Structures are given as C-alpha cells and as structure tokens.
Structure 1
Amino acid sequence: MPIDALPADLADESADGDEELSDDEGEFDEADDDLAVNETPSARSPELYASSLRNACVAARIADDLRGQNIVVLDLTRVTSIVDFFVIATANSQRQMHAIADEVNRKLKREDGNKRISVEGYRTQGNWLLTDYGDVVLHVFTQEGRATYALEQLWADAGRIDWQNWQPTDTATPADDPS
C-alpha cells in the first residue's frame, strides 16, 4: 500500500513506523495510580481481565474472518505485568497484514473505545506488524517472520486461550485457566 494511501487513522504515524502519541495518550489515568509494581490490572479486577479477554478474542476472530492463519491467543497474566494477552496471526501478504490490523483497530475503537497505543511495522515492508492496545498486543506476521521471532516459544509459559469457543458471557479469570 503506498504511504499516501494509508487509512486516515494511521496518518499520524511517524516515518519510521512508530505512532506518535499526543501528550495525554501516554499518561496513566489517576484510576491506575493504585496499581502496585508488577501487579497486572487483571490481577486486581476480574472485570478488567474479562474486558481484555474479550478484546483479544475479538481480535483473533477478526484475523480469522480475514483469513489469517495459525491464530493463537496467549494469556500472559501469569508471566508478565506488561500485557494481558498476545494475539498472534500469520498473513500471506503485506496487504493482508494491514487489513487485519486495520479491522481490529476499527472494531475495538468502535465497540469498546479501546485506543491503540502504538503501531510498529505498518509503513515498512517488514514481516511483522504489531499493534499495542495496552492490555492486548496484536502481532501479525508473514510466515517467515513468525518462524524467525517464534513468540509462542519465547512465551511458552503463557496459557493458551480457546478463542474459537469463547463466548462473550464467559467470565474466566486467570485463576480459572488450568494451563
């Protein structure tokens, strides 16, 4: 996709592929001030975990609808405090990578008001496109990129979510996950 044809919601990215944040987007809300170091929001609130899980499963389903392959949702709440879920998918082309990332962004923004924090790899011809939503990070790879970075092996201690059978009424918490 030519740079001048980028969707309007990605037009504010810098030339190196990193999205520029406005002054308030990178700041923590006062409501987050009570989080302890290394405490995930989901650890203190089942509602936040459920919301993050929902967003991860929605992202996985969108990737599936757009013919993404080998889609995996990793629950990272027991192994890191940085993010709750990774959604990992393989695409057959740059265009498909962009389509998946764009549609996930539209859906999460429209339905949940979930703002994208940053984007990496959108303006490059690379083999990895990353979209960070804070609690959920979407990774869309080419086949070569997925093999190179091997995130599933890197995060092997993470639980796997059965996103295909997940229902919006599911109220699982990290403690409910036996993996």
Structure 2
Amino acid sequence: MEERLELILDSIRDIKGKNIVRIDLRHLHDRPAEFFFVCEGDSTTQVSSIAGQVQKRMKVELNEVPKTVTGGRHANWICLDYFDVVVHVFYPETRKFYELEDLWSDGVVTTYDQ
C-alpha cells in the first residue's frame, strides 16, 4: 500500500499539483475508501494533466488502472477511483465549493509541501 501512496503523491508532484492532502480513512466505519488524495491545479489543463500523470504512472509502474474516472470532460474535478485509494484533482474554486476535506475531517489528514 505504501508504494502506491508514494507513487500517487510523486505523480501529483510531477505536474506541480498544489495544496496536496492525504486523508487516512481506515479507522472510519462507513468509509468509501482507505485513503483520499486531494489536490488542485491552477488551470483545467493542469487538473487534467495531473490526473493523466497519476493514471499513466499507476498503469506503467504498478499495472493498475482506476475502477472509474469521472469529471474529465470539464476538468474542474477529476476523480480517480482505485478501490481503496481515491484521488481527487480539483480546480481551486471547485475544491472550495465542495469542501471535501471538511466533509471527511474525521480522517487523519496529512498535508504535503509543494
């Protein structure tokens, strides 16, 4: 699991993702996944590129593809669902609107520097 988490974090950083947060949900009873990654890009192009980099590296390096990918059309919020790890890549205004970190604030939050 740790290798997957590090690969996702590194993939986000490859494309200069900002305000990266990892939420550990393992201790919650009704969790949708074990971990969430939440990050943002400065433009819809960057949001799309971050999501694409995560998908590419997960496939090439770990032979994993997401169960579902949603939100790619407008690239305001792209969600990559890898079953036990879900990656949320936001455009800043969309992230503020949904307040995902607040919704899952019972999780253990780790914030990463750029």
Shorter-normalised TM-score: what interval? Answer: 0.7 to 0.9
| Contact preservation (8 Å) 2:20, 2:112 | no
2:11 alignment partner in structure 1: 62
1:101 alignment partner in structure 2: 51
* Counterpart-to-counterpart distance in 2, 1:147 and 1:82: 21
1:78 to 24, 27, 31: 27
Give 1:160 deviation, angstroms: 2.2
2:72 alignment partner in structure 1: 122
Bigger radius of gyration, 1 or 2? 1
1:27-42 aligned at under 5 Å gives the runs: none
Give 1:136 deviation, angstroms: 0.8
1:153 to 89, 102, 105: 102
* Counterpart-to-counterpart distance in 1, 2:53 and 2:105: 28
| Contact preservation (8 Å) 1:74, 1:85 | yes
Identity score, percent: 33
2:90 alignment partner in structure 1: 141
Please identify runs of 4+ aligned residues in structure 1 that moved more than 3 A: 161-164
> What's the secondary structure of 1:119's corresponding residue?
strand
Gaps of 5+ in 2: none
> What's the secondary structure of 1:129's corresponding residue?
strand
Give 1 or 2: higher strand fraction.
Answer: 2
| Contact preservation (8 Å) 1:90, 1:146 | yes
> What's the secondary structure of 1:88's corresponding residue?
strand
1:1-20 aligned at under 5 Å gives the runs: none
Aligned length: 112
Amino acid at match of 1:108: M
Amino acid at match of 1:98: S
Q: Compared with structure 1, are the counterparts of its residues 59 and 159 closer, same or farther at alpha carbon in structure 2 (3 Å cutoff)?
A: same
| Contact preservation (8 Å) 2:20, 2:111 | no
* Counterpart-to-counterpart distance in 1, 2:100 and 2:3: 21
* Counterpart-to-counterpart distance in 2, 1:101 and 1:159: 23
TM-score normalized by the length of structure 2: 0.88
Gaps of 5+ in 1: 1-50, 165-179
Root-mean-square deviation over aligned CA pairs = 1.7
